[in-house]
Structure 1
């Protein structure tokens, strides 16, 4: 019997509050914010994001991640397909060729949020600058094409 690839990991002993900045929506050409995870552990960080995502922004139903941002983005040669959050499993996906360094969230309202992932080992001053600057970033056209694939293809292969 085949099983879906999932991320499994131990929990981190001490967690800081979610390091996230969301901006007001202004159009498809911009990112919606930035996220500075505390490690490169996909399971721990994605679960933290889902569990502590601001309720006024919506409940996260699905994640699309960029594999180069994480130490273990695959299980058994396939992309991680779900993340264990406090409320249960959340669907996840990735494309092997995706190097956008974005975490794309689908929330219950149907809205899709694109977050720039600031590497966890970034100097705190530089990370704060990147998180603050993320509100004005524009996506490259190739990034838009990668995001459009999510509607047409099944990530995680």
Structure 2
């Protein structure tokens, strides 16, 4: 029979060995103007510096603020992301580019996962790019990542 101390130690060791969920978003702005902006629920979380969160990161948007973008990226090329560790098949991270009005092409924008799922990503370098949502049913442009702790690199003007 196992002693209570041995069981407690085994549970503690298992808990320590499990890495907590974490995601980082990294920006690269090659435009020479503008400010990379990361927004979630109307709150600006980053203006170009790396953003790291411990835990799931749902329903965030990113864009290059050139002076003409609204808080929710209106008038600009929008990158939408949810970064979460999958709990069932198909329930992990998903990122896309949106040009659904009131969003419109403003600068070349792209993203790619790193620390898992690379080279999965997408780029949009013109108003008609096939890798972006142009209407809500363009769901085939979503780029999934079904690995734990996926990170995201967002680049403007590459």
Q: Same fold (TM over 0.5)?
A: no
Higher strand share: 2
Q: Which has the higher helix share?
A: 1
TM-score by length of 1: 0.29
Please give the TM-score of this superposition, normalised by the length of structure 2: 0.29
Specify which structure has the bigger relative contact order, considering alpha-carbon pairs within 8 angstroms and separated by 6 or more residues: 1
